Amino acid sequence: MPINPDAVGLSGDPLRRSWTSKDSLLYALGVGAGVDELAFTTENTKDTPQRALPTMAVVLGGGGVPFDKLGSFNPALMLHGAQGIELLSEIPPEGEIESTGSIGAIWDKGKGAVVEMLSESVDLATGKPLFRTKMTAFMRGEGGFGGERGPSPDWSHPDRKPDHELRYETRMDQPLIYRLSGDRNPLHSDPSFAKMGGFERPILHGLCSYGFTGRALLHTVCGSDPARFKAMDARFSKPVMPGDDLVVSMWVDGDTCLFQTKNQDGDVVIDQGVMRFA
């Protein structure tokens, strides 16, 4: 059967996930952290306790979502549309969570369907919610079933130069490092699979670009303190190729930061960004 619009509201079974200090280090390296960020890339540096990057929520969480109840679709034609995280406490460098998820919405975009997945993760050490995630996926070729198109976002950055701007370089082998944190989709590693999806070569994980952007926000508006990082939402607007530069522009208003990420050619790759911090 094709995509199943009646799956909205269905929940999955709770899913447990544990992680170690090594997992946190590997994730940080996968999103480009290095020798200037030893709190995230080492566990034995003098006077520098290890901490986890806030955006690690995207690889730890999202569990318990019933993808198996969505119907059928071609995974080579699925693109990550948007991602949101809400941090209720700082993510520890090692721990265990239990996640429960549900299908929040399925929208008909004509040429494709947009599916929204929601998940909440509880820290089993404290019994309290640790973070929540929200992701949308664009399923090419699965639209036209007569459903609602969904809301149109109302987002624009202030008509002034960014308050902050930070540029990162990605590596040609960046997706090969990032995939070790869990996302083994061959779209990011197998040239033949990438061609099936319409790309000349494997593309960078959207969540890897999201992690690069989150690092820029963390170090710029949070003073590199993960405890101040509260939420981050953004839409993926164009694929990033390994080796591209990522330029993160930030506009700050109180405890909210609007952001947008472009590549070296000025093309917007992450759009409609909203981040909250303390």
Residues 6 or more apart from 178 whose CB is under 8 A from it? 30, 31, 188, 204, 205, 207, 208, 211
CA atoms within 13 A on the CB side of 51: 20
Instruction: Choose among 83, 266, 269, 74: nearest CA to 187.
Output: 74
Contacts with 197 (C-beta within 8 Å, 6 or more apart), sequence order: 76, 77, 187
Per the DSSP assignment, residues forming a β-bridge with 105 are: 116
Residue 260, beta-bridge partner list? 249
Say how far apart CA 240 and CA 242 lie, in whole Å. 7
Distance CA 275, CA 172 (A): 28
Range list of β-strands (E), the chain? 15-19, 78-87, 95-108, 112-123, 128-140, 164-169, 229-236, 245-253, 256-262, 268-277
Identified catalytic residue from 3, 61, 81, 188: 188
Written as one letter, the residue type at 268 is V
- 146 annotated active-site: no
Options 103, 106, 203, 270, the catalytic residue? 203
Q: Please confirm, yes or no, whether 265 is among the known catalytic residues.
A: no
Catalytic position from the list 12, 62, 143, 206: 206
Q: Would you call 206 a catalytic residue per the annotation? A: yes
User: Measured between alpha carbons, how far is 90 from 38 in angstroms, rounded to an integer?
Assistant: 17
Please report which residue ranges of 137-202 form alpha helices under DSSP H.
174-178, 191-196
Going by C-alpha positions, the residue among 180, 167, 179 that lies closest to residue 204 is: 179
**Candidate list 23, 108, 123, 183, residue with the active-site label:** 183
Q: Which residues are catalytic?
A: 183, 188, 203, 206
